[in-house]
Every structure is written in structure tokens, then in C-alpha cells.
Chains A and B, each alone.
Chain A
Amino acid sequence: MGISCVKRDYLYRLAKEGKRPDGRAFDEYRPIEIERGIINMAEGSAKVKIGNTTVIAGIKMGIGEPYPDTPEQGAMSTAAELIPLASPDFESGPPRADAIELSRVVDRGIRESGFIQLDKLCIEPGEKVWIVFIDIHILDYDGNLFDACSLAASAALMNAKIPNERFELGEDAPMPLDDPPISCTFVKYNGVIVVDPLLDEDEVAEARYTVAIDKNGDIRAMQKGLSGSFTVEEIKNSINNARVISKSIRKLLEG
């Protein structure tokens, strides 16, 4: 919907003074809360709060045919729903471009880090494999959906069990997982770069940058968004910040 001029001026002025609307430093993350196993009907689930931003991720699994080029691998699909419950600016109906970008960035972090061991989700090569559906519901939108959705998806996967019993394939088994990627998002406005943007910061942002960091501090996925630009130096600094921040988020996720 866009932000009012008064608010924009206020954020710009604060930025010049080295401040943010909620008093955080530019490289400071909001408090994170993770609640696991909250949905009975799901194979795994988690609710993540970053500040006021609240999302729920649920994992459902089904059996399907593998893709022809990966006959011995399971498949995954990620969908984030920007439901009208979460914000007056979200509308119902088919997903818009921003919801699709969000889903794809979350998907890429999980896929490229090899977090789900898809080769262990084969039932009959070329015939039957598990399909992992990651569905993310946004309940309250107060900025930084990219990180909230990634974190919720990872926590829900870590909470999930393969529902063998329901499909008469024996006992339920743990989900085959590797180390989770940690997503870290920055936005730039009026010459400053801040991590974990609030809603107002998301709305004045000229450019956005998301990076997924693995356990070794290596980069597994990136996305630059919006019409503004970053310098090479800014990107490198952001990666360094993300490597530090991701360590404490990882502890929370694995704890």
C-alpha cells in the first residue's frame, strides 16, 4: 500500500542519526521464539515469532512419482500463503508475485543446502517417492517474512516424521535431514543497511538482500530484491554480518 511521507521522513531522519524505530542497532536482530509440534494433523510443524511477525509452517507428506531426471529421489514443494488475516494489504486469491518470490527463496535455501536428504525419500526407484510439502501460513506481518518463513520451515522439518503408518509402510521414521540453512535478510534505505527489517523498514526499503548460510559459514543461496542497488562492499559486509548472526539463530533452532 506504500508508506506515508511523514513516516518515511521519520525513518530517514532516524537512519541519519544511526537509529532505528525500535531502538535496535543496524546489525541487531529482534528476539526470536520457536514453538514446535503445534499442529496435530501435520507431519511436523513450528510457529516462529520474530518480534511481532508470526508465521506457522506445517509439513505434509504424500506419495507420488519421481521427476524423470531424478528417479531415485524424493521431491519437495514450498508454498507461502500471504493470507489476508496477516495484513490489510494482503488479498485472497492466487499467489501474487511477492508470495511466489518468498516461497522460492525459502525453497532455494532448503534445497541448495541439501537440508532434506531427498535420496533417502525413495520408496521404489522410478515409481514411488515421498513428496514433502512445506506450507507456510503468515499470521501476523511485522516485517522480514523471508527469515521468519525460512526458520519456520526448517524448524517444522526438524519436527517432522515420515508418516509410514498412515500409508501402511511400517512404523513412522524420522525425517532424513542434514544441517539447516539459516536465512538472514537485510534492507537498504536512505544509505543505511539494516538486518531483520520491521514492517515500516520493509516498506521504505529501496533494496533487499537475503543470504542462506550453512553450518560452516558458507553461502548456500542468495536473493537480491527490489529496484534499488547495493555496492560490492555492502554485499560483502552483509555476508560477514550474516555469518555472525546465523550462529546464534542456529543455536536457537538446534537447541
Chain B
Amino acid sequence: MELIKDGKRLDGRAPDELRPIKIEAGPLSRADGSCYLEWGGNKVMAAVYGPKEAVPRHIQDSSKAVINAKYNMAAFSVDDRKRPGPDRRSREISKIASEALENVILTEMFPRAMIDVCIEVLDAEAGTRCAGITAAAVALADAGIPMRDIPVACAAGKVDGVVVLDLVGEEDKKGDADLPVAIAPRNEDILLLQMDGHMTPAEFDEALELALKGCREISELQKEALLKKYKTTEGE
């Protein structure tokens, strides 16, 4: 099957075009901060609880807060029902997401505390870790957690030998490479970087530049979502 035809991708996008993205800050009542994000066919809810006392006690750090992100997929979010509960893939994503978010949070302000970041994937169509981190960052800001920056994530990749932005289902399965990236947008420091597949160094440079371009666009949407929530609250 051809993944790119006449310069257009399966879903009609140009190689450097993102799927449609919708971000809502603070939809949940119980959480300290929350975010609902739709990114193409992905639907993700993120919630933040804390800072609160870290339990069990042995995980406490006397110099800073512990960031505990949990990435979880709903049983109904994928083609064949996923058995509930963490597997090796979701544990790995939880770990790298925690580390990426920890980088920007002023953890030294909250010794012995922990901040829980729950990322629930409700509907999955490739790129859920980027969607999850992007949503988690908005939820952290909504919770009022002091941060140096609001992280943002986006993937680039290669399909049919062409470097493209934001891979969709079939491209992810049959493509040549996938490169998810998370950055702190103000200085564009890289907080998360993974790759699988096959790219030349030149293709990598091109893909990374494309992923950064995607991150910049999404970063604006994150800020808009937060401004929208707090502007509305002010007006009421």
C-alpha cells in the first residue's frame, strides 16, 4: 500500500501538517488540575493531584518533590481489548513522562512531597504518549504547579522515504521510523526523545526540525486553552 500519493498522506494531510488538535483546560471537578485533549483520533484526559505528602514514605526525597506520572490505556481504547492495568509499555511511558515533566517543575519548592499526574488514554490512534505529555503539562499548569515552562510533545517520522510530521495509525504501523520528542518550548531544550525505525543522520535532522515545528504550534494551543479557562472564570 502506498502511504503517500501525489504529496498527500492517507488522511489528506501534507507531510508537515498536524492532525486537528483540541485542548480544554480544567474539565474535571475533583482533580487539582486537569486537561482534556483530542488529537486526531486520540482522546486523552489528564489529571494532577498534589503537591501532597509522598507515600509510601520511603519514596520521599528530603530535597525535592517526587513526580509520579501514570500513563494508562482504557480497555476500549484500542482494536483488540487491552487487559486493564499496567504493562511493560505503559510502565516505560510513565517513567519517561515523569522524567520529562520533572525537568520543568520547581520540585525543590516541595521537599518530601509528591505530585501525581494521571494520563488516561480513552481513544488511541498513534501518538498517545505525545498527546498524554502535552495534556499532562496543561493539567499541571491548571493545578497551579510552579514550572519553568509548559512542556509540549510531538512526533515526526518517515513513511515511504518521506519525512513527515505527526504519524497516524497506518503510518505508525507500516512507516519506516517514528520519533517522538518533548521540549520545553521557551529554550527548546529536549525533555524526551525516542526513536524506532531507520533514518539517515540527514533525515533525523529534518525530522527533528519538523517535530520542533509541531511542538511550537501545539504550544500555542496549550496556552490558548489555559487563557480561555481563566478568562472565563474572571468574567463570571
Contacts and interface: CB of A to CB of B under 8 A. Distances in A.
B111 interface: no
Interface in A186-203: 199
Nearest to A166: B79
B45 A139 contact: yes
A166 B80 CA distance: 10
Nearest to A199: B30
B80 A140 contact: no
Interface in A149-203: 166, 199
Given A41-B123, A52-B29, A85-B120, A137 B70 contact: no
**Which secondary structure dominates where chain B touches chain A?**
loop
A213 to B, nearest CB: 27
**Which secondary structure dominates where chain A touches chain B?**
mixed
Given A41-B41, A56-B74, A85-B31, 14 more contacts: A39-B74, A39-B122, A40-B123, A41-B79, A42-B77, A60-B76, A79-B75, A81-B74, A85-B28, A85-B120, A94-B85, A135-B75, A139-B120, A142-B29
B28 A83 contact: no
Contact of B76 (A39, A54, A141): A39
Nearest to A77: B81
B29 A137 contact: no
B124 A41 contact: yes
B49 interface: yes
B118 interface: yes
A58 B124 CA distance: 13
Interface residues of B, number: 31
A140 B116 contact: no
B191 interface: no
B219 interface: no
Contacts of A141: 30
Given A84-B118, A133-B81, A92 B72 contact: yes
A140 B123 contact: no
B43 interface: yes
A243 B41 CA distance: 40
A40 B40 CA distance: 11
Interface string B40-61: 0101011101001000000000
Interface in B98-129: 116, 118, 120, 122-125
A141 B49 CA distance: 14
Interface string A43-68: 00100000010101011101000000
Top 6 A-B pairs, shortest CB-CB distance? A58-B76, A60-B81, A135-B75, A85-B118, A42-B76, A52-B29
Nearest to A81: B84
Interface in B75-103: 75-81, 84-86
A93 B86 CA distance: 8
A88 interface: yes
Contacts of A45: 76
B28 A54 contact: yes
Interface string A86-113: 1110001110000000000000000000
Interface string A22-47: 00000000000000001111100100
Contacts of A85: 28, 31, 45-47, 118, 120
A92 B86 contact: yes
10 contacts: A39-B122, A41-B41, A58-B75, A58-B77, A62-B81, A85-B118, A88-B49, A137-B120, A140-B30, A142-B29
A135 B123 contact: no
B31, B43, B76, B85 pick with most chain A CB within 10 angstroms: B76
